[in-house]
Structure 1
Amino acid sequence: MTTSAPESVLDVISELLVERFEVPSDEVRPDALMRDLLTDSLMVVEMAITVHEVLGVKVGEDELRDATLAGFAASVEARRTDR
């Protein structure tokens, strides 16, 4: 078994978008707006729940809609390290 560096929050969220939410990988860029990646309100709610389950950080739906992928990941990362 090999050990690798832990994934960044940006990597984890990007992977969730592609694998769970079936966003085309070429659309998942740091400067992409989350509202463009999560195309309906159900996806936004599901992502908020998934981020809480996977990363242990509660996020608001407005936060998801208003941020870029990189900005959202940075916000989640900051709250993870505040613990």
Structure 2
Amino acid sequence: MTTSAPESILDVISELLIERFEVPPEEVRAGARMRDLLTDSLMVVEMAIAVHETLGVKIEEEEVRGSTLAEFAASVEARRTDR
């Protein structure tokens, strides 16, 4: 599995983290664990919904918890291109 994603998807998810979830911008790095950025289970659920609404990609909560920001963005991008 690749851990890189086109900058646009990474940027969109980073913006969601900063704007919607109020994660400090200095913490939003490609290698940051999503479970560290989204500190409670409600935030994880809300991120799954936000990604679906914004990018049209359905994701599972475990995918959010178990990856870095870059891995998560790459996974979302792979699903967008599979359509």
Matched, 1:64 2:64: yes
Matches within 5 A, 1:20-35: 20-35=20-35
Give per-residue Cα distances to partners, 1:31-78, cap 9 Å, x unaligned: 000000000000000000000000000010000000000000000000
3-state DSSP of counterpart to 1:67: coil
Count of paired positions: 77
- Please report the TM-score for the alignment, with normalisation by the length of structure 2: 0.91
Q: Which residue of 2 aligns with 1:82?
A: 82
Report the Cα distance in structure 1 between the residues aligned to 2:20 and 2:27, rounded to whole angstroms.
15
Instruction: Tell me the C-alpha RMSD between the 2 structures.
Output: 0.8
Report the Cα distance in structure 2 between the residues aligned to 1:9 and 1:59, rounded to whole angstroms.
14
Q: Which residue of 1 aligns with 2:38?
A: 38
Runs ≥4 residues deviating over 4 A: none
* Larger relative contact order, structure 1 or 2 (CA cutoff 8 Å, min sep 6): 2
- Fraction of identical pairs, as percent: 79
Q: Which amino acid in the other structure matches residue 41 of structure 2?
A: S
Q: Which amino acid in the other structure matches residue 31 of structure 2?
A: D
Larger Rg: 1
Report the Cα distance in structure 2 between the residues aligned to 1:62 and 1:74, rounded to whole angstroms.
15
